[in-house]
Amino acid sequence: MCNVEKLIESCARKISRAIHDASPNQQLIIGLAPGWIVGAALIRLEKSTALFLGVGIILLHLAKENQLVQIDLNDIDMVKYTSFIEYPPTWTVKVKEFAKCNVAFTYGFISGVLIGLASY
């Protein structure tokens, strides 16, 4: 690897560790900012649908944090859904593991994308 790749990997690890150590509500806010930027760039979705989906995901996460609803993602049998899919490249595995470990950040990012889409 060249120095630039090592620097990028080192920064990504530091950011990932900082996000992982943050509280779920901080992760949600941290995820909203880059999500909104991506959403503003991907403005092709219907505005009202994106806004309602983004707000709905945030409300669902807040309801889960306040124990108003129970969501157990481990109950989903992924074997029957992924048995026909080939093994993904390594970066997608890393993204999936990051998303599993930082669910609140992922909710915030997705919500930010949808709100960003609706804001223009």
Q: List, for residues 25-71, the tens digit of each pLDDT value.
A: 888 888 888 888 888 777 766 666 778 888 888 888 888 888 888 87
pLDDT band at 105 (very low <50, low <70, confident <90, very high): confident
Instruction: For residue 82, give the H/E element and its range.
Output: helix 78-82
Both tokens assigned to 23: 């509280």
